[in-house]
Amino acid sequence: MLDALLTVATATDVPAVPTPWDMFSSEFLGTVIMMTIGTAVTAAVFLPRSKASNSGWVVVTLGWGFAVFAGCYGAWKTGAHLNPSVTVAKVIAHGFDGSVTLNGLPAGQGGIPVSAGNVGIYLAAQFLGAFVGAVLAWLALKRQYDQPTEPGVKLGTFATGPAVRSYGWNFVTEVVATGILVAWVLVSGGTPTQIGPLAVALVIVTIGMGLGGATGYALNPARDLSPRIAYTILPIPGKTPADWSYSWIPIIAPIVGSSLATVAVYALGMAA
């Protein structure tokens, strides 16, 4: 997400291309930071015996927005994707423009080439980081998770779910929400601002306020799948099943939305 706002290095200060370990550690750390904060904010709002209990959806959206803000700084070496949907968008963008790199820097000036191996590193780091972040949030709030609560509430702090279950329309909601996010990522570099990760945070907050109430706005397959797996494995008292019948929507719909948005941005000639 940060790649469109990175400053290109000068010819006298050419950065080295990140190593595979640099790529993994960057996306992993950024995603851990994002998921720990985001999961913890959701848990603090919805779990009982929390001082933030019942503080509302605005707190959730603000928390997730600034979780992404913090994660962007943790993943600065890789352009801070933090999200397989963004990585897929970069792959598709590379098909339209061969100069596109994964981290937004030009080839030969620190740009990470779009290759199967590099993309695989990004995706592995994102999914693993999301799992670890969810577990850390559970550890930090374990006493709150130990308290009895209504069915489904604990699952809702880890994974998304619809307010009104309608698989087709839930799918559309996630496609639209992710499409808006990815379209913004692809065009934002054309605007001469220096607010970087803060701009991403504000976009996430706005999407959450407008579209998040319908499905919980996953926007990110790793953000939903990995914490859902963590919820399934962790010894959480009184937990309900992980609602795997719904889980395909926050995995597939963000990828579809990301792909459609990327094609649309390039078809309109608006890519930065």
CA distance 47 to 53: 6
Q: What is the mean pLDDT of the chain?
A: 94
CA distances from 127 to 54, 55, 120, 232 (A): 29, 29, 11, 15
Sorted by where each begins, the domain ranges of the chain are 14-267
Res 196: pLDDT: 84
CA distance 121 to 22: 10
Encoded amino acid at 31, one letter: T
pLDDT at 4 over 60: no
Say what the pTM is: 0.93
- The mean pLDDT value for 186-209 works out to 88
Considering only CA atoms, which of 86, 247, 92, 85 is closest in space to residue 159?
Answer: 247
pLDDT digit string, tens, across residues 229-244: 999 999 999 999 999 9
> With the C-alpha atoms ordered 164, 210, 270, 120, is the resulting torsion angle positive or negative?
negative
Give the whole-number percent of the chain exceeding pLDDT 70: 93
- Name every residue whose Cβ is closer than 8 Å to that of residue 67 and which is 6 or more positions away in sequence: 33, 34, 35, 36, 37, 38, 41
pLDDT digit string, tens, across residues 26-67: 999 999 999 999 999 999 999 999 999 999 999 999 999 999
pLDDT digit string, tens, across residues 77-135: 999 999 999 999 999 999 999 999 999 999 999 999 999 999 999 999 999 999 999 99
Res 195: pLDDT: 80
Q: Which CATH class is domain 14-267?
A: mainly alpha
